[in-house]
């Protein structure tokens, strides 16, 4: 999620040719590279399962835990990079090994050496593993983890108390990384193939909720209980999160495309009545998203909303909810139109991430527009399901006011750095433009096929762009990489320049990347006309009046400029068009 509430006016853009901006010009450290790239000590092994046990001390705000990382070697290797952020302390590291006991082979834990480098743990296995071999490493650790200052944007452990004074705790760590609270390969490109288990030990008076299915609670006899949860699907490491509080639980079953879907709700006991009313939005939201995106991606793990001590986050199969049981974004409409006050922003947006971000995941957070742009557009799609097409168009075009165009949507690769917060609103504006270029039937077919093809997959922005461009003959004719470069890799909005000479319309794109050729729909002289301008001034085979008014269809995120006679004359001469006045 990490919703950026950038209520800024759209900046003005000079009508000069844009260049793809070089985000790599920023300065990054070795620590950034270790965190954000797949170096040699990460590349040779693939995580297959995380088994995380954690015991938080809610008074001292500390934790103690053991994480078992099951993995398979995909190439020969011995030294591992495991991430665990300071100030957490590693007590020991062990690896499973074979040993002879009483004349038989047994599996034992063997202590292995390790060193620390800032937030990285270098672990040296006793023997080199060959490709195809598998084993499990266990990391025992403790300490006072980083506390979140302004979750979910500034992440870490969240230590709160509810209105009754009972402890209320959780974690938000998107971007910051799961290694802020448990050891892991902290990179989006490697989700554990077989899922994860989470065991949370809390006082008997509290409940502990995790991702996936509840697998029972162990009464420890010392005033604490351990709650066991299991995720069967691959999961982003930052999505695996404990939630601790004095919760009430209720549930319902939604009849989804793949069969019954268990929907569970864990809310503070005092808020149960409000939650029961507000969460009536879940079923119609799921119905809309399944119609447009395909089946809910994690039916085996269920759908869950968990009230959180922060605004919200897309924690897979345990969506964090903290919107105060109000419609809109904390009671406000991000579009400024009033349309967004008809539904609960956090419930809809974070649930949309189950398809985009949780099921379809980018390898590098530099490409997170694939998560946030598509998910922000899911709000428009739900608005259309709920209120109709015109309201949906008002919502998505109204949200453009939040676009800052401060830096490119796609960030620098390999250093754990996101692009601009425009990944939300500008990403959705791009998708809405694409929808109107290719038409509804093709666009919605693309969304369904995208979710079918890339379900539970790791992708790149380039891969998704190529998929959209090459989807069918129509998209290959109308879409091209320059369109995506324009909106994702520059900060400029393309300008449609137009002028009239001898009742003929002349058009071109400026403020754009070289070679941009993008269809656009305009209304001129009372007629709707589809144009396909390029960066060279060209004549349109349509007769217009001497002084027409031209208006671009609002569904295209572009600017427009009328060229005076003198400007048009200069522009025509510069294109070397062989025509006379």
Tell me whether residue 534 is in a domain: yes
Say how many C-beta atoms besides its own lie within 10 A of residue 374's C-beta.
Answer: 24
Three-point CA angle 362, 396, 238, nearest 5°: 25
The pLDDT of residue 99: 55
CATH number assigned to the domain comprising residue 523: 2.60.40
The pLDDT of residue 510: 96
CA distance 368 to 524: 38
How many domains are contained in the chain?
A: 1
Pairing of strands 259-268, 303-307: parallel
Tell me whether residue 506 is in a domain: yes
The pLDDT of residue 574: 77
CA distance 11 to 406: 9
Tell me whether residue 565 is in a domain: yes
Identify which of 137, 357, 72 has the alpha carbon closest to the alpha carbon of residue 239. Answer: 357
pLDDT digits (tens, 9 = 90+) for 422-442: 999 999 999 999 999 999 999
Would you say the C-alpha torsion 54, 182, 367, 70 has a positive or negative sign? negative
Radius of gyration of the chain (CA): 27
Tell me whether residue 132 is in a domain: no
Tell me whether residue 535 is in a domain: yes
pTM given for the model = 0.93
Q: Which two tokens stand for residue 543?
A: 């007769």
Pairing of strands 550-552, 520-524: antiparallel
Tell me whether residue 559 is in a domain: yes
The pLDDT of residue 16: 35
Q: Which two tokens stand for residue 281?
A: 């939005």
Tell me whether residue 442 is in a domain: no
CA distance 86 to 75: 30
Tell me whether residue 287 is in a domain: no
| Domain enclosing residue 499, as ranges | 495-574
User: Which parts of the chain register pLDDT below 50?
Assistant: 2-19, 23-24, 577-581
Sorted by sequence, the CB contacts under 8 Å of residue 501 that are 6+ apart come out as: 565, 568, 572, 581
């Amino acid at each position: 999620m990490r919703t950026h509430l950038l209520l800024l006016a759209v900046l003005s853009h000079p009508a000069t040719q844009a260049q793809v901006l070089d985000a790599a010009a920023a300065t990054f450290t070795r620590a950034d590279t270790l965190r954000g790239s797949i170096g040699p000590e990460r590349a040779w092994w693939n995580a297959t399962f995380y088994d995380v046990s954690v015991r938080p001390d809610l008074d001292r705000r500390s934790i103690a835990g053991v994480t078992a990382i099951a993995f398979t070697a995909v190439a020969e290797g011995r030294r591992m990079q495991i991430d665990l952020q300071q100030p957490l302390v590693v007590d020991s590291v062990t690896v499973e090994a074979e040993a002879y006991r009483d004349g038989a082979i047994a599996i034992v834990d063997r202590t292995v050496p390790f060193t620390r480098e800032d937030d990285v743990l270098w672990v040296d296995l006793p023997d080199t593993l060959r490709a195809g071999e598998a084993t499990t490493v266990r990391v025992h650790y403790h300490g006072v983890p980083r506390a979140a200052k302004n979750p979910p944007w500034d992440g870490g452990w969240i230590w709160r108390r509810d209105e009754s004074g009972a402890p209320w705790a959780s974690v938000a760590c998107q971007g910051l990384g799961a290694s802020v609270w448990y050891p892991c390969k902290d990179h989006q490109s490697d989700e554990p193939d077989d899922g994860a288990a989470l065991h949370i030990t809390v006082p008997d008076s509290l409940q502990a909720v995790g991702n996936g299915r509840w697998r029972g609670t162990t009464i420890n006899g010392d005033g604490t209980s351990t709650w066991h949860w299991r995720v069967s699907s691959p999961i982003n490491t930052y999505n695996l999160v404990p939630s601790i509080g004095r919760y009430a639980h209720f549930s319902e079953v939604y009849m989804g495309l793949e069969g019954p879907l268990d929907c569970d709700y864990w809310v503070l006991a005092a808020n149960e009545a409000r939650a029961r009313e507000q969460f009536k939005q879940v079923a119609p939201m799921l119905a809309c998203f399944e119609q447009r995106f395909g089946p809910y991606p994690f039916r085996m793990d269920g759908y869950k909303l968990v009230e959180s001590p922060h605004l919200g986050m897309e924690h897979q199969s345990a969506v964090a909810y903290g919107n105060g049981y109000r419609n809109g974004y904390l009671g406000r409409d991000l579009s400024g139109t009033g349309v967004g006050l008809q539904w609960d922003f956090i419930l809809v947006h974070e649930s949309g991430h189950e398809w985009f971000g949780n099921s379809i995941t980018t390898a590098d957070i530099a490409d997170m527009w694939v998560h946030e742009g598509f998910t922000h557009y899911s709000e428009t799609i739900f608005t259309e399901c709920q209120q109709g097409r015109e309201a949906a168009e008002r919502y998505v075009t109204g949200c453009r006011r939040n676009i800052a165009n401060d830096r490119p949507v796609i960030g620098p690769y390999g250093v754990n750095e996101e692009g601009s917060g425009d990944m939300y609103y500008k990403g959705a504006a791009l998708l809405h433009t694409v929808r109107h270029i290719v038409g509804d039937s093709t666009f919605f077919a693309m969304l369904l096929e995208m979710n079918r093809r890339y379900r539970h997959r790791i992708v790149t922005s380039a891969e998704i762009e190529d998929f959209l461009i090459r989807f069918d003959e129509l998209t290959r004719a109308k879409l091209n990489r320059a369109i995506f470069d324009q909106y994702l890799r520059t900060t400029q909005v393309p300008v449609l320049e137009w002028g009239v000479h001898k009742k003929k319309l002349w058009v071109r794109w400026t403020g754009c990347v070289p070679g941009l050729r993008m269809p656009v729909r305009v209304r001129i002289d009372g007629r709707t006309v589809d144009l396909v301008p390029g960066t060279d001034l060209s004549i349109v085979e349509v007769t217009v009046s001497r002084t027409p008014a031209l208006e671009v269809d609002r569904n295209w995120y572009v600017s427009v400029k009328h060229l005076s006679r003198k400007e048009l004359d200069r522009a025509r001469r510069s294109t070397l068009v062989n025509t006379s006045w």
